[in-house]
Amino acid sequence: MNDLVVLQTIQGIIRYLDSVYGEAAKSMGVVVGYDHRESGSLSSVSFARMTAAVLLHENYKVYALEGFVPTPFVPYSVTHLRAAAGIMITASHNPKEDNGYKVYWSNGSQIIPPHDQHIATSIENNLAPWIPRYNVDESDIFSHPLFDDVTATIAASYLQSLKKVLSGITVRDPVRIAYTAMHGVGGKWIARAFTEISAINRIPEPLPVLSQIEPDPTFPTVKFPNPEEKGALNEAIKFATNNRCTVIIANDPDADRMAVAEFIPDAQPSENPLSQWKVFSGNEIGVILGHYQITKYLSTGATVDRSRGAVVSTVVSSRMLQAIAEKERLHYSATLTGFKW
């Protein structure tokens, strides 16, 4: 990915938004977020500046999420601000050499047919830059009347929504938790979330895995920055073992993916600390979280309307949630992958 590809992509997106929403698209605006990826002179930051410059040139409102934000902030912002679209510049959990351009529609989901096909066609029809040179000067972008840095307000609103989800939870037996951002953007946001939530319901704040907590585009301690990959949690496990933690929480670099591990001591202690940790699969985490949400929904009162309860998982997921939903007489649907169907 380079500046020209980014320029061509946002030009195509703009023209497609124009065709769908007309002049209203400009005032609805586009949310733009980015992570810490960097390779030579190219970076997520520079791609975000190019994206904003083209949008502003076309008189589009730009809702900016500044300072390395987690990917979930972008779709949340799109629906919260009723924007026309959202863009997150990140390579997610892919190798350090990569970068990417996640596009969200006005419903907060990543684009699906026919939008993806129409946008691709629109990009092909708008490959030539509309002007000789876009103004990507940061001070000029930040001072533009259509540029709005919404990071603080979105973060506050997001965390307030999180508090509502976790309302009523109290921790009877606090555990020591280790957290790793895997050299990504999640560190400061997870710390803030736990600090605010702990003040309400005593959920213990995690200990940061210091060697992986700060954003670092070189990912020096992992070969592949995906917490679900075998061996990716080795650094966190060593830290957690040394600091007597019994739970590990890990995010991928753009903090939209999570892994969990639990300390389970062997009957006969091993010299290898890795053998004493259970790393939960994505299916297991999904079932745990899904079962919690189902239990919470059904505990709202004796008159709860089960016909209004729905459970959704993907076609590549375990059928365990389906079994739970059917047992509780709740609607169940399986979708394609991607949190967008």
Cα 136–Cα 21–Cα 338 angle in degrees, nearest 5: 80
Which phi and psi angles does 247 have, rounded to 5°? -135, 140
Q: Of 13, 141, 143, 19, nearest to 85 (Cα)?
A: 13
Phi-psi category of residue 249: left, alpha or beta, with phi > 0 → left and psi -120 to 50 → alpha: beta
Tell the residue number behind the tokens 């592949």, with chain if given: 224
Q: Which two tokens stand for residue 281?
A: 């699969």
Give the angle 310-315-318 at the CA atoms, nearest 5°.
Answer: 80
Q: Are the CB atoms for 193 and 181 separated by under 8 Å?
A: no
Q: Which of 44, 46, 77, 92 is catalytic?
A: 92
- From residue 321, give the alpha-carbon distance in Å to each of 207, 296, 307: 31, 15, 17
**Helix, strand or coil, per DSSP, at residue 74:** helix
For this structure, is 92 an active site residue? yes
Q: Which of 338, 34, 6, 48 shows the shortest CA–CA distance to 184?
A: 34
Q: Quick one: three-class SS letters along 226-253?
A: CCCCCCCCHHHHHHHHHCCCCEEEEECC
Rounded Cα distance, 329 and 112, in Å: 30
Catalytic residue IDs? 92
